[in-house]
Amino acid sequence: MKRQFKDGLIGNNPVLVQLLGMCSTMAITTTLFNGIGMGVSVLVILTCSNIVIALLRKLIPAKIRIACYIVVIAGFVTMVDLLLQAFLPALSASLGVFIPLIVVNCIILARAESFASKNSVLASAVDGVAQGIGYTAVLVVMCVIRELLGNGTFGGGLIGPGGAGIRIIPADYSALLVILPFGGFITLGCLIALMQWALKKSAAKAGGSKGAEK
């Protein structure tokens, strides 16, 4: 179980290593509020869909499994969407179309196909939480970097007067392009490079135990 968490966060991080869910990562990581909201939404949906798919894994025939997964995932996404609209309208307004788009977030389908459909309910639930935390962690890092460099603030939407965040860099010196999609690609690229470098380094350190991976 500890290994699953480590994998979700580092070794097999959904965004930085599996390179899944890039679209939402790029699109919503402009304020900390968005990042945490999106991360937690995906975590909840991923865990729920993993549990249900693990429960149904012996019942669902292989031929129609993808269709069944999509129905289950879409169901959970719509539920979360409705619940957010009802009880957290500010977050719902801010994430906009990206909540419904979680349906096609490949992290969820990938985990359903590669993990939940082959493992027990408990292991799948843990996998959902671990991968969800990994996704959220990347979003938070992206948000902090992009918000700080692009807007000059920290914690936008969460703290500060009117949710404006705490200003760290004066408004005149912030690099607007970091907030734009272009900046999202650059930031994500740097993070992936950093992650690969760190993974390679730790693999080199581990030396001969390379075969032990997986």
Partner 1 sequence: MNRESEKARDKSAPRLVLILFGVTVVVAALLGLVNHITKDAIAEGKAAKTSAAMREVLPADDYTEIDIEGKAGDIVTGLYEAETDGAPAGWVVLAAPTGFGGTISMVVGIDASGAVTGVSITAMSETSGLGANALKEDFRAQYRGKSGSVALSKYGGGIDALTGATITSEAVTQGVNAALKAVAAISKGG
Which parts of this chain interact with partner 1 (CB under 8 A)?
30-31, 34, 56, 59-61, 63-64, 67-68, 71-72, 74-75, 78-79, 82-83, 85-87, 89, 93-94, 96-97, 147, 150-151, 176, 179-180
CB of 157 to partner 1, least distance (A): 8
- State which residue, 15 or 80, has the beta carbon closest to partner 1: 80
CB of 56 to partner 1, least distance (A): 7
CB of 77 to partner 1, least distance (A): 10
- State which residue, 13 or 41, has the beta carbon closest to partner 1: 41
Beta bridge partners of 213: none
* Alpha-carbon span 165 to 138, nearest angstrom: 20
| C-alpha distances in Å from residue 53, one per residue of 73, 99, 108, 140, 143 | 9, 21, 11, 28, 31
CB of 191 to partner 1, least distance (A): 19
- State which residue, 96 or 189, has the beta carbon closest to partner 1: 96
CB of 175 to partner 1, least distance (A): 11
CB of 59 to partner 1, least distance (A): 7
- State which residue, 34 or 47, has the beta carbon closest to partner 1: 34
Question: Going by C-beta distance under 8 Å and a sequence separation of 6 or more, which residues neighbour residue 203?
Answer: 210, 213
For every residue of 115-156, which 3-state class applies, written as one string? HHCCCCHHHHHHHHHHHHHHHHHHHHHHHHHHHHHHHCEECC
- State which residue, 84 or 126, has the beta carbon closest to partner 1: 84
- State which residue, 10 or 101, has the beta carbon closest to partner 1: 101
Amino acid in the structure at residue 141: V
As given in the structure block, the two tokens for residue 72 are 């289950």
* Alpha-carbon span 177 to 187, nearest angstrom: 11
| C-alpha distances in Å from residue 115, one per residue of 40, 118, 120, 181, 207 | 20, 6, 9, 31, 28
* Alpha-carbon span 61 to 54, nearest angstrom: 13
